[in-house]
Amino acid sequence: MKVGIIGTGFMGVTHAAGWAQTPAQICGFCAETTAEAAPLAKQYHSKIYTSIDEMLPEVDVVDLCTPTFLHAEQVEKAARAGKDIICEKPLALDVQTAVEMLAVCQKMGVRLFVAHVVRFFPEYAKAKAIVDSGKIGRPGTIHLRRCNYRPKKTVGNWFLDEQKSGGLLLDLSVHDFDYARWIAGDVKNVFSKKVSSMDPEAPIDYALTILTHENGTLSHITGGWAYPPPNFQTGFDINCDRGNIHWDSAETDPVHVLIRTDQDSPDVGLVGSHLIESPYTTEIKEFYDAIQNHKEARVTSVDGMKAVQIAAAARKSAECGEPVMIDSMKGEAA
């Protein structure tokens, strides 16, 4: 299997490390400039491509580690070239685009995987397994928390541009929208409040979203770019009628480093995992296996589309101040 990676930011670096742990061959990297792609190309003894068109004839799989606003065009190109695709989350900026992306992949008979990496973090995967075992019963309420700091200026500052990233709800909370759906099933109704919707000048952003699932479960999603760097806290509570699961990153961190440093915090907060295998590598290995052996992965393209759907409903709710039914979003997609 020959893989080409597009985008060489922190996610390109992370995915490349994952691919290196599989039998697949990394053919090369493509970035906005050859200078950006050069270090990874050198590290993995592979090529620098100056465009996706130049890369496509030489690879079997395209891994898109690019900003969200570029996904649609790149997925379409790769699909039309008959390549299987890994796409970073969120799949697309809006539901309509996501649906079209799924359609083109289906039409061209290529596979599309959306990198919702949270499903591959062992604490999240284990909690899902406990719920699925049925031994703690049915989820009544779920809390999912994810808060770090505002991403610093990256290339083109696309993270902070709502038009390019979809903002906090689509870029960060989408992880937990997907996880909530994985645990409690499809979502019926979404209500969200967001600091930047109330005060566009706010130096931080923070959003609280209540999801009502079709089975009645209530999920509360906290997403924030509000803490001073380098703080990043995640956590969840899954409260079921026969038991509860609680996890908090701050409480279970096995290592606390209290060392003076002049080092600056990273541009974008990432959770440290203290694991032998990075969850990103677990993810890439599973996608590799799914493609190679024609198997399902734990996250499908439909999951990726539905996560966008919930995020879109949350963004709409935060703007209009009213709850938004997911059914109404389906209407927009059709």
Partner 1 sequence: MMKIGIMSFAHLHAEAYVQNIKAIPDVEMIGFVDSDESRVEKFGRQFQVSATTDFEKFFAEKPDGVIICSENNAHLPMVEMAIDAGIRNICCEKPLATTLADAQKITALAVKNHVNLMTAFPVRFSAPVMEVKRQLQLGNYGKIYCFQSSNEGRMPAMYRKWFVDKELAGGGSLQDHLVHLTDLFRWITRSEVESVFAQSNQVFHHGEVDVETGGMAMLKFRNGVFASIDCSWSRPDYYPIWGGLSFEVITDRGAIQVDAFKQNLSVYHHETKGLSLVDWGSDSNQGMIDEFAASIRENRQASVSAEDGLRAVEVIQAAYESVASGKVVYL
Assess contact for 65 and 3: CB atoms under 8 A.
no
Site for partner 1 contains 135 (CB under 8 A): no
Site for partner 1 contains 275 (CB under 8 A): no
Taking the complex as a whole, the smallest distance from the CB of residue 208 to partner 1 amounts, in Å, to 4
| Whole-angstrom distance, CA of residue 107 vs CA of residue 86 | 17
**By CB under 8 A, what part of segment 224-243 binds partner 1?**
224, 226-228, 237, 239-241, 243
| Whole-angstrom distance, CA of residue 117 vs CA of residue 299 | 9
Site for partner 1 contains 244 (CB under 8 A): yes
Taking the complex as a whole, the smallest distance from the CB of residue 166 to partner 1 amounts, in Å, to 20
Number of residues that bind partner 1 (CB under 8 A): 37
Task: Give the three-class secondary structure for 151.
Answer: coil
| Whole-angstrom distance, CA of residue 289 vs CA of residue 60 | 14
Task: Give the three-class secondary structure for 313.
Answer: helix
| Whole-angstrom distance, CA of residue 324 vs CA of residue 185 | 17
Alpha helices (runs of H) in 134-199, residue ranges in sequence order:
162-165, 167-171, 173-184, 195-198
Stretch that binds partner 1, among 43-51, 65-73, 80-88, 317-325 (CB under 8 A): 317-325
- Taken as a whole, the chain contains a residue count of 334
In the numeric block, which tokens belong to residue 46?
Answer: 């592979």
Site for partner 1 contains 173 (CB under 8 A): no
Taking the complex as a whole, the smallest distance from the CB of residue 270 to partner 1 amounts, in Å, to 19
What pairing do the DSSP bridges indicate for beta strands 2-6 and 324-325? unpaired
* Contacts (Cβ under 8 Å, ≥6 apart) of 134: none
Site for partner 1 contains 185 (CB under 8 A): no
- Out of 2, 80, 128, 143, point to the residue binding partner 1 (CB under 8 A): 143
Taking the complex as a whole, the smallest distance from the CB of residue 114 to partner 1 amounts, in Å, to 27
What pairing do the DSSP bridges indicate for beta strands 139-148 and 112-115? unpaired
Site for partner 1 contains 130 (CB under 8 A): no
Taking the complex as a whole, the smallest distance from the CB of residue 331 to partner 1 amounts, in Å, to 18
**By CB under 8 A, what part of segment 187-206 binds partner 1?**
189, 191, 193, 195, 198-199, 202-204, 206
Site for partner 1 contains 212 (CB under 8 A): yes
In the numeric block, which tokens belong to residue 60?
Answer: 């079997």
Taking the complex as a whole, the smallest distance from the CB of residue 268 to partner 1 amounts, in Å, to 18
In the numeric block, which tokens belong to residue 70?
Answer: 């570029």
Looking up tokens 């930011």 gives 9
DSSP for 226-243, written as a single string: -SPTT--EEEEEEEETTE
- CB nearer to partner 1: pick between 60 and 248: 248
Taking the complex as a whole, the smallest distance from the CB of residue 262 to partner 1 amounts, in Å, to 22
- CB nearer to partner 1: pick between 242 and 260: 242
- CB nearer to partner 1: pick between 220 and 285: 220
Q: Which residues bind partner 1 (CB under 8 A)?
A: 138-141, 143, 147, 189, 191, 193, 195, 198-199, 202-204, 206, 208, 210, 212, 216-218, 220, 222, 224, 226-228, 237, 239-241, 243-244, 321-323
